[in-house]
Amino acid sequence: MRTAPPTRRPARVLLTAALCALTLGAAATPAAADSAASARNHPAEYYLALGDSLAAGYQSLPGGGHVVGRGYAQDLARTLEGRAHAAGRPFSFTDLGCPGETSGSMADGGCRYPHSWSGSQLTNAVSYLKAHRKDRVVVTLDIGANDVDGCASGGSLDLPCALNGIATVRRNLDRILGELRAAAGPHTRIVGMNLYDPFLAAWLTGDQGKALATLSVPLAGALNGVIEQVDAAHRVPTADVAGAFDTGAFLPMVPLGGQLVPLNVARVMQWTNMARGDIHANDAGYQVIADAFLAEL
């Protein structure tokens, strides 16, 4: 007999109600095709990756340290380059992703990780798009995880922190997409991305961890709901990374490391580096993300 994951029912009811109220702030509208037929029939010659550490391709290494430039953007660039070359077209890839970037620092500047550009990532992206208004460009964007990353730690969820972070993402993402849209030419396709839930890994740490993992799913759902709503308002499709990671699937139970765990927990442990405390995707997970973007391209 399958049993539901343990929950702290009053806490989850409160969390769900608060997050639902937040995500009802804007009604989702269908994401209109962004010159879709033309873009799909004529491969892109330029690819611009925007966002945080996932866009930058950040991964920790087993023996310590980390690498940047080994992520979904690089996987996606290889596919787009192959399509362009098969059609006899040139191809150029630019990655402005900055590890640690929040929606606010992306808009206003201040990413703390060393990077090659000055000013804000958004300003540089707008300049890039204006310079390529007549070209066929693909833009991918992931942002928002760092706005709520500190809201689930120490075995508990900070609800006010989560609500504030999600509201901040709504406000800043609306600005970011508005400016990108205004700068983009008629042959530019912009694709956003929702997020997987690394806090599901807490399930493996005992009863308190199972409660945190369970509560983290409505948090992820609320953040993703806001991302999808804002994307849709700007006619930007959203790559369904959360769906690819089965984020909401506590059933079925599947084998992992000699025990049975929920499917969503297994996905996070298999496709990220959470086994060593790193929330970033591993090579397999980054390919899953790339495939989710490709489904929209």
Strands 156-157 and 92-95: unpaired
Residue 26 has pLDDT above 80, yes or no: no
pLDDT digits (tens, 9 = 90+) for 172-215: 999 999 999 999 999 999 999 999 999 999 999 999 999 999 99
Specify the DSSP element, H or E, that contains 153: strand 152-153
Q: Estimate the crossing angle of helix 207-233 against helix 159-183, to 10 degrees.
A: 30
Whether the upstream peptide bond of residue 252 has omega within 30° of 0, thus cis, is yes
Residue 12 has pLDDT above 90, yes or no: no
Specify the DSSP element, H or E, that contains 260: strand 259-262
What sign for the dihedral angle of Cα 50, 128, 118, 121?
A: negative
- Reading the block at residue 63, the tokens are 């023996």
Domains of the chain: 30-198+219-242+280-294 (3.40.50.1110)
Q: Estimate the crossing angle of helix 9-23 against helix 207-233, to 10 degrees.
A: 10
**Three-state DSSP state, 272:** strand
Residue 227 has pLDDT above 70, yes or no: yes
Q: What is the pTM of this model?
A: 0.89
pLDDT digits (tens, 9 = 90+) for 90-127: 999 999 999 999 999 999 999 999 998 999 999 999 99
